[in-house]
Amino acid sequence: MGLLSGRKTVYVDSDVLVIGGGMAGCGATYEARYWGRDLNIVCVEKANIERSGAVAQGLYAINCYMGMQWDENQPEDHVRYARNDLMGLVREDLGYDIARHVDSSVHKFEEWGLPIMKDPETGRYMREGKWQIMIHGESYKPIVAEAARKAASKVYNRIMVTHLLMDKTKANRVAGAVGFNVRTGDFYVFRAPAVIVAAGGASHIYKPRAVGEGMGRTWYAPWSSASAYALPILAGAKMTQMENRIVLTRFKDGYGPVGAYFLHLKTYTENAYGNEYESNWYENTKELVGDYIDRHPVPTCLRNHAILEEVKAGRGPIRMVTKEAFQDPHKETIGWENFLGMTIGQAVVWASQNIDPKHTNPELTTSEPYVMGSHATCSGAWASGPEDYAPDEYQWGYNRMMTVDGLFGAGDTIGGTAHKFSSGSFAEGRIAAKAAVNYVKDLGKGRPQVDEAEYQNLKKEVFKPMENYEVGRNEIVAGTVSPSYLLPIHGLQRLEKIMDEYVGGISAHYMTNKPLLTRGLELLGMLKEDLDHLGAEDLHQLQRAWELQHRVLASESVTHHTMFRKETRWPGYYYRGDHMKLDDKDWHCFTLSKYHRETNEWEMEKAPVYHIVD
Amino acid sequence: MPTFVYMTRCDGCGHCVDICPSDIMHIDKTYRRAYNIEPNMCWECYSCVKACPQNAIDVRGYADFAPLGHSVRVLREEKKGVISWKVKFRDGREKNFESPIRTTPWGSIKSPSDYDAPSEEAFKSQELAHEPGALNIEKLPALTPDKLKQGVV
């Protein structure tokens, strides 16, 4: 059977196309309808929006809430906090914008039915920490998805978007996207003047600590496959801070969260011999980063750094001291429900290993690196800022529009805006959608046109792994080893090994340098060539093939950015062995990249950091 | 294994196939029942376990670090708005937990188009849907560009 002759092409026209139905995508879909009453609003998701994205299994806290109604925090405070945690470098204009809109988003969640815990004395939301509020969030995602479904003209589940489409009448303008239905195998051409990329960040670009069955228990969801970055990169959008990968200190093996433990349960860490260890590394850290170590709270990366050094000094493992707090039955319940609400796998690990934190202080570990834009890190696309106060250099059009006309982003997609988390990602989706509706209104009838030749070529490219498999499979008796194709898992494991060994993964203690990065890029180049020979046995494997394509492109971006920034800005996330110190003289700036698809070249530049609060 | 499916309980309804965020619950062509086709891409998110009307899906912790003999079982009662957990340790100890999942009826969220349409001026303001009302403060905070500065702070 000719693979292409039998494949149906489905055309979907809309005014606003939202790619990805996680927190940011649901926020965008909701808001697009509020402003665009008569518009056709389509949300496309590779899984099922009921349980998709990083919040699929729920959350036990909302980590970004100002509490302006009680004067708990103001948006300026959040900017200072995020800036401090990211060692001085965040897009303060974008961060402020999220902070000022996040409370109204959270209030809607509560109105919609999300159970938010209340302080019995004050009646206010129960605080886990300065920015976090506690929720019973098992159904956080289904609730938010219900709001998005009410708003959308149509939600397309189980469609993996592979590429964006560009306008044939005007350069550097988006015109839609293509993808395939993972169930039917139909090819989809989405035509839309405004596209909001709200896809996921990147797990599984670095080798995870567990490589057997447990490779699925990455900290960030295994389905976060870097589409947030690959889609804009391929369309020529500028990216920023892609070197700013994150390493998480978490409970060992299950990667259960530590936020509630530190902040609410007041547990603390100690080394294997029961001693405090952070002060051992104060002078060492000061040598590297100067007075950033004296800031409060101590930046996340620097706390990682102390753990890494203490373990290297032979005094690991680091443990969380839970035995005291867990004597209080209320705290014990919170400790367990925290996992059951958002990282069930950690409860499974503890049950299996007979770890009851009431009697045993559990081990912590540092994770493999992840690339994302919504946690204590800020990789992503370079976006235009809010119209009312963003500096001229950060403003070239509509809020959250990338450097490609009509292409917007939110959540993991947008760079420079750390600490937005679930609520901030939803709020950013709303910001992007209002801007996208304004863009569509202003565009009037001068709509972009898709190029038939472009999407027909993409159709061939998208299904090529199935053809490769069908042809190559006949050469061999059975099994997974073929001289003519690689399976997606083969390519994924090669990617993870390259990134781990050359670009600062766990087995290199997060260390890299120019020679390593140079070699890493050579190997990534060969992997990229080999991706033409991916083989997909079925549509599920075809999805894996395209997830891998997205991961590889994002990894290449990470490697180029890491090479460009000649300093160690975030020790504890990664180290440039050839530039071990933080260098504010030359590198108090953002790194920007632009990928040229035709020549396969990456263009790097610096962009200034503007501070908008003291 | 992450997740696995009991042969005698699964009736092949496909709810797990529909919900799995990782697309790893598929129907076996011979047995017409669901199974996990790719355990190493399972996050143990329990979406399929919660969605299964037959309680046919369970989890066996990842073989690389989870010794046998444990179980973490869940019952999600959507209409009651409650989720219950039973955690059983390898050595037989048990812990039980119960939490609310929703405070309003399912399906009760209003579409944004059920609200009054925004004015033309509202399109040009920085306010989002339901603001400033939903902020529970008088007006949306804002900055002015004269506060911008460069350099280390």
d(CA A235, CA A551): 16
For residue A5, name the pLDDT band (cuts at 50, 70, 90): low
Q: What is the pLDDT of residue A4?
A: 56
Q: Where are the domains of chain B?
A: 3-100, 112-140
pLDDT tens string A224-275: 999 999 999 999 999 999 999 999 999 999 999 998 899 889 999 999 999 9
B38, B126, B138: best mutation site toward chain A, by most A Cβ within 10 Å?
B126
Q: What is the mean pLDDT of residues A544-555?
A: 98
For residue B147, name the pLDDT band (cuts at 50, 70, 90): confident
d(CA A84, CA A570): 11
B151 contacts on A by Cβ (under 8 Å):
588, 611
B130 to chain A, any CB pair closer than 8 A? The answer is yes
CA closest to B48 among chain A residues: A51
Question: What structural domains does chain A harbor?
Answer: 12-56+140-241+372-443 (3.50.50.60), 249-366 (3.90.700.10), 454-586 (1.20.58.100)
pLDDT tens string A87-116: 999 999 999 999 999 999 999 999 999 999
Nearest CB among B112, B128, B144 relative to A389 is that of B144
DSSP of A438-473: HHHHHHTT------HHHHHHHHHHHHHHHHHHHHHH
d(CA A395, CA A444): 22
A397 versus A372: the higher-pLDDT residue is A372
A584 contacts on B by Cβ (under 8 Å):
152
Q: What is the mean pLDDT of residues A113-123?
A: 97
Interface of A with B in 332-361 (CB under 8 A): 333, 336-337, 340-341, 344-345, 347-354, 356
d(CA A249, CA A257): 8
Q: Distance (Å) from the C-alpha of residue A361 to the closest C-alpha of chain B?
A: 16
Judged against a pLDDT cut of 50, whether residue A565 lies above it is answered with yes
| Residue B43 annotated among the catalytic residues of the structure | yes
The residues pairing with A268 across neighbouring beta strands, listed in sequence order, are A321
CATH fit for domain B3-100, picks 3.30.1360.200, 3.30.365.10, 2.60.40.10, 3.30.70.20? 3.30.70.20
Query: What amino acid is encoded at A390 in this protein?
Result: A
Could you give the maximum distance between any two Cα atoms of chain B, in Å?
A: 70
Query: What amino acid is encoded at A411 in this protein?
Result: G
d(CA A480, CA A472): 11
Q: What is the pLDDT of residue A3?
A: 54
Contact A400, A383 (CB under 8 A): yes
Q: What are phi and psi of A97, to 5 degrees?
A: -60, -45
Interface contact B113-A211, CB threshold 8 A: no
Judged against a pLDDT cut of 70, whether residue A1 lies above it is answered with no
Nearest CB among B45, B90, B135 relative to A57 is that of B45
A31 to chain B, any CB pair closer than 8 A? The answer is yes
Q: What is the mean pLDDT of residues A288-293?
A: 97
Instruction: Indicate whether this model's pTM tops 0.95.
Output: yes
Judged against a pLDDT cut of 60, whether residue B1 lies above it is answered with no
When the pLDDT of each residue in chain B is averaged and rounded to a whole number, the result is 96
- Report the helix count and the strand count for chain A, using DSSP H and E: 16, 22
| Token pair listed for A16 | 């606003």
Q: Is the dihedral of CA A250, A256, A261, A264 positive or negative?
A: positive
Determine the 3-state secondary structure of B52 from DSSP: coil
Interface contact B107-A151, CB threshold 8 A: no
A150 to chain B, any CB pair closer than 8 A? The answer is yes
Interface contact B21-A96, CB threshold 8 A: no
Which residues, including other chains, have CB under 8 Å from residue A68's CB and lie 6 or more apart?
A: A74, A75, A103, B135, B136, B137, B141
Determine the 3-state secondary structure of A99 from DSSP: helix
DSSP of A319-385: EEE-TTGGGSHHHHHHHHHHHHHH-HHHHHHHHHTT--TTTS--BEEEPPPBB-SSSS---EE----
Q: Distance (Å) from the C-alpha of residue B54 to the closest C-alpha of chain A?
A: 19
Q: Distance (Å) from the C-alpha of residue A351 to the closest C-alpha of chain B?
A: 4
Which residues, including other chains, have CB under 8 Å from residue A445's CB and lie 6 or more apart?
A: none
Q: What is the mean pLDDT of residues B2-26?
A: 98
Strand pairing category for A364-366 and A249-251: antiparallel
B45 to chain A, any CB pair closer than 8 A? The answer is yes
Q: Distance (Å) from the C-alpha of residue B8 to the closest C-alpha of chain A?
A: 24
Interface contact A389-B145, CB threshold 8 A: yes
pLDDT tens string A181-211: 999 999 999 999 999 999 999 999 999 999 9
Judged against a pLDDT cut of 50, whether residue A476 lies above it is answered with yes
CA closest to B85 among chain A residues: A340
Q: What is the pLDDT of residue B145?
A: 80
d(CA A118, CA A177): 43
Q: What is the pLDDT of residue A446?
A: 84
| Token pair listed for B116 | 């009054």
Which residues, including other chains, have CB under 8 Å from residue B146's CB and lie 6 or more apart?
A: none
Contact A184, A6 (CB under 8 A): no
Q: Is the dihedral of CA A591, A219, B20, A540 positive or negative?
A: positive
ipTM over 0.90: yes
Q: What is the pLDDT of residue A2?
A: 52
Query: What amino acid is encoded at A149 in this protein?
Result: R
CA closest to B99 among chain A residues: A136
Using alpha carbons only, how large is chain A's radius of gyration in Å? 23
For residue A490, name the pLDDT band (cuts at 50, 70, 90): very high
The answer to which of A600-609, B73-82, B144-153 has the lowest mean pLDDT is B144-153
pLDDT tens string B48-78: 999 999 999 999 999 999 999 999 999 999 9
Judged against a pLDDT cut of 90, whether residue A410 lies above it is answered with yes
Nearest CB among B63, B93, B113 relative to A33 is that of B113
Interface contact B134-A336, CB threshold 8 A: no
Round to the nearest angstrom and report the end-to-end CA distance of chain A. Answer: 66
Q: Is the dihedral of CA A401, A404, A410, A411 positive or negative?
A: negative
Determine the 3-state secondary structure of B133 from DSSP: helix
| Inter-CA distances, A532 with A21, A161, A484, B132, Å | 29, 18, 10, 52
Q: Distance (Å) from the C-alpha of residue B9 to the closest C-alpha of chain A?
A: 22
A389 to chain B, any CB pair closer than 8 A? The answer is yes
CA-based nearest residue to A325, from A353, A354, A299, A362: A362
Interface contact B151-A113, CB threshold 8 A: no
